[in-house]
Amino acid sequence: MDINRKTVTKNAFRITKTRGKTALRVRVPGGHLIADYLTLIHDIAKKYGNGTVHITTRQGFEIPGIDFEKMEEINKLIKPLLEYVEAVPEHSEAGYPAAGTRNISACIGNRVCPFANHDTTALAKRIEKTVYPHDFHFKIAVTGCPNDCIKAHMQDFGIICLTEPQYDESRCISCNACVNVCKKKVTGALKDENFRIVRNADLCIGCGECVLKCPTQAMFRSEKRYFRMVIMGRTGKKNPRLAEIFIDWADEDSVVQIIKNTYKYVDRYIDRTLPKEHIGYIVDRTGYPVFRDMVLEGVTLGPKTKVAQHISWSGYRYKQSSNMS
């Protein structure tokens, strides 16, 4: 059977080391899936695969051991999964239309976790509808608070949900629980001045620890939702590194529009002689200011939003250093 590698991978099937066998990659935006779909994944794995399912680092599924000849048949079967994504044409029986932009992962969010500031799955699905299907190699993740359980700092775009703590002095009993937790676990952004809690906005990272610790609900989460976006974290063969802060205290619309604009930036500057190019290397090549100015075009930032004017990524490179022997 003649196999077009580009067609296969674009259709979300993997080229494997076993001749004649492929693996289906299943998208699960936000890492949240209705349990009924697990039966479909199970049936495909048992009937067409080798009976196993791999849970990927990006919260999707891979079903290995599938014959290439069964791809068209399987594409018809996974139609309900594509409709669940809600970002592909209705009634499509041709399978996934792209695989470049990886599954958008998310921590469990405030549907379950008391530390999470927002609904991470809802935001991940909104981003999915904005960017998928697309062939550019992007990695995007949403985490519910600065604890960063999803490892947003290792993504091209890591979105961290924030809250601006609100203070009701009439409920405060001056127990200093919020001050102590911030001092011990966070940045020391709170202090007690004349039996009143004062917050240093420059030190506050929007985690919400003070809200959780307050016994009288004198501290509570803001109705307005805020986000921090960290960018260009990566592993890989050249320069593994953690992401750095790009924008802080931004609203959701700004975050989504910036990601959308980045596809235009990549389309303009990507090295098309390569089979794929990681976005971080494109930013390294063009320089951060070119990226910053282009992705902020048409974005209306809120009065609290801050943008990094300069970013210098560190990480490490694969070379022998003076302390290696």
Structure confidence by residue, pLDDT tens digits, 241-261: 999 999 999 999 999 999 999
pLDDT band at 320 (very low <50, low <70, confident <90, very high): low
Supply the pLDDT for residue 284.
95
pLDDT band at 199 (very low <50, low <70, confident <90, very high): very high
Residue whose structure tokens are 């949900």: 161
Report pTM. Answer: 0.94
Q: How far is residue 203's CA from residue 193's CA, in Å, rounded to a whole number?
A: 17
What percent of the chain shows pLDDT beyond 70?
96
Supply the pLDDT for residue 1.
58
Dump pLDDT digits (tens) for 202-222.
999 999 999 999 999 999 999
pLDDT band at 237 (very low <50, low <70, confident <90, very high): confident
pLDDT band at 322 (very low <50, low <70, confident <90, very high): low
Helix (H, G, I), strand (E, B) or coil at 296: coil
User: Does 89 have pLDDT greater than 80?
Assistant: no
Supply the pLDDT for residue 126.
95
Is there a contact between 136 and 279 (Cβ–Cβ < 8 Å)?
A: yes
Is there a contact between 295 and 156 (Cβ–Cβ < 8 Å)?
A: no
Task: For the chain, list the strands marked E by DSSP.
Answer: 13-15, 21-26, 54-55, 61-67, 105-106, 140-143, 157-162, 166-167, 190-192, 197-199, 219-220, 226-231, 244-250, 306-307
Domains and CATH numbers, the chain: 5-85 (3.30.70.3340), 105-162+225-307 (3.30.413.10), 166-220 (3.30.70.20)
Supply the pLDDT for residue 91.
58
Dump pLDDT digits (tens) for 92-140.
788 999 988 999 999 999 999 999 999 999 999 999 999 999 999 999 9
Supply the pLDDT for residue 41.
97
Supply the pLDDT for residue 4.
85
pLDDT band at 224 (very low <50, low <70, confident <90, very high): very high
Question: How much is the mean pLDDT over the chain?
Answer: 94
